[in-house]
Amino acid sequence: MSVGALAEIQTQVMWNRLISVVEEQAQSLLRTAFGSVAREAGDLSAGVYDLSGKMLAQAVTGTPGHVNTMANAVAHFLDRFPVESLSPGDVLVTNDPWMGTGHLFDFVVVTPAFSGDRAVGLFASTCHVIDVGGLGFSADANSVFEEGTWIPHMFLRRAGVLNEDLLSIIVANSRNPVEVRGDLMSLISANDTGVNRLIDMMGEFGLQSLQPLADHILQTSQAATRKAIRDVPDGCFDYDLPLDGYEAPITIRTRLTIDGDRVTIDFSGSSPSSNYGINSPRTYSHAYVVFGLKAIIAPHVPNNAGSLDCFELISEPGTCVDPLPPSPVTARHVIGQMLPDAVFGCLAQALPDRVQAESAGSIWVLALASAHGRAPLDSLAGTTRFNVMNVGIGGVGGRPGKDGLSAMAFPSGVGSIPLEITENQSPLWFRRKSLLRGSGGQGQWRGGDGQVIEIANRESVPFTVSAATFDRIQHPARGRAGGSAGSAGRVRLGSGRTLEGKGIHLVPAGDSLIVELPGGGGYGPPSQPSADQGPDPIGSDAHE
């Protein structure tokens, strides 16, 4: 074997090793996080960057909304804190929605990696923490200032010493101080794990600098992505995606232009930003747009700055996909997680046999809390004060050649939070949680089914749920290529009253909350439509 061939093999081995480094980083975060949404659902991400802030590798564990926003976020840290100003033991942090991952609930933590006294790379990680103050996880705020504590780019640790003043401010403004501090410590620990493994790797391979490997990764990935784009027919393709919105319906207006090895997505003409917190900052919109494009065009190419740079986003400042500060953004994934469907609607015209039907899209975050502040205080005397979170998941659209997946969080990829966790953290109990049979759209390939979840309070007092992220109640996932739409979502009380999406609802004492998650659209004309079986009986999957 030639020297050149051996060098190529070694380079590929080092690339694979780098991916394993960031996966260990992510697993460290997953296994030490305090908040259930990070620990159980995997609502997190981790990655390694070169000294200019370009992402070289991402962990498999995590969500596109986190990892693809972090692909841009690290450069913002370096604008404020150049590498030359950093020292071993430093850690930086922010939860700036426009320079981080899109809302205040995600802290981004960046740690420089040093070999001796020489910086060789950067590690970043993020996760969703359960509470940052303000109105809590709600879309009811009219500005980001009402949504919680906004931390600019700052030192979280300097030369190995924690910034306890900053931690005190964050903890003092959270309803779940133990979990929030624990998650921040887990983010620091995860990055430290990545740094240690990188230094071990560089020593093993005799590397003095990461840059030659970084250049190879970025150039190779970009070339492979450009080649894949050239295989897509040139043209301009338009698609409108209607969503429920909050005070008014939302339309995501999309134009995809493919010209040789260039791809441009233009959202000009989309609805203006909402007065409520469903807006998706450009960084979060970009994250899910490039995910949707890459998932169809170049799924085989590793995700890094080289492959992501092949896609251009055009948006109008002041729209719901590019809101300006201080627009409210807590429930930004109502819009952001729908953007792959907008992209797919365009790509289906260019590649008609490769694109699935629409999906439920945005996960339904079940932000559940005691009724303190929303019911007479004397009626709540002696009862439990709590603030917990669970996740409801809908169906994925039918695919060419396969049915859609049921109760699968696409495109976010987050997992469910075991109901036992939520029950252990609160007096709530889940009367049932099962597939909502027949909620997927009919077609040659059926859409995936959503879930039905019923929740009650063991204590004889009311509780609240924030419906901030509930969508597709008015606009269900549409079918493709002759398939029918999936079932719309529905929110109601066990006593029968229907509730609206987006607001904060009070579930009366002795009553229950029932959510029915939307199904995915069907793909292709149905040859023999199947009967709607309805939801599973309560007794079949009931949990007590």
Structure tokens at 394: 């809908």
The predicted pLDDT at position 544 comes to: 31
Contact 18, 6 (CB under 8 A): no
Establish whether the linkage from the previous residue to 526 is cis, with ω within 30° of 0.
no
C-alpha 238/C-alpha 260 separation (Å) is 18
Q: Which two tokens stand for residue 498?
A: 């229907």
Query: In a 3-state reduction of DSSP, which class is residue 163?
Result: coil
pLDDT of residue 356: 98
Residues of the chain with pLDDT under 50: 530-544
- What are the tokens at 377? 């205080």
Beta carbons within 8 Å of 209's beta carbon, 6+ residues apart? 120
Q: What is the largest CA-CA distance in the chain?
A: 82
- Dihedral of CA atoms 281, 286, 287, 288 in degrees, nearest 10, equals 100
CA–CA–CA angle 442, 431, 385 (5° rounding): 125
Q: Quick one: pLDDT at residue 541?
A: 40
Local structure of residue 449 (DSSP, 8 states): P
* Two tokens, residue 372: 């303190």
Closest by CA to 33, choosing from 22, 42, 24, 46, is 42
Of 338, 291, 233, nearest to 45 by C-alpha is 291
Tell me the per-residue pLDDT of 492-532, one tens digit each, with 9 for 90 and over.
999 999 999 999 999 999 999 999 999 999 999 998 554 44
pLDDT in tens, 356-377: 999 999 999 999 999 999 999 9
Structure confidence at residue 524 (pLDDT) = 98
Tell me phi and psi for residue 114, to 5 degrees.
-120, 135
Residue 104: CB atoms within 10 Å? 22
**The predicted structure's pLDDT at residue 4:** 78
Q: Which of 322, 277, 330, 395 is nearest to 128 (CA)?
A: 330
DSSP 8-state secondary structure symbol assigned to residue 68: H
Q: Where are the domains of the chain?
A: 3-209, 227-354, 356-544
Question: In whole angstroms, what is the distance from residue 45 CA to residue 54 CA?
Answer: 16
Structure tokens at 210: 């990461």
- Distances, alpha carbon 84 to alpha carbons 114, 162, 312, in Å: 12, 20, 31
Q: Look up residue 311 and give its amino acid.
A: F
Tokens of 475: 């606009």
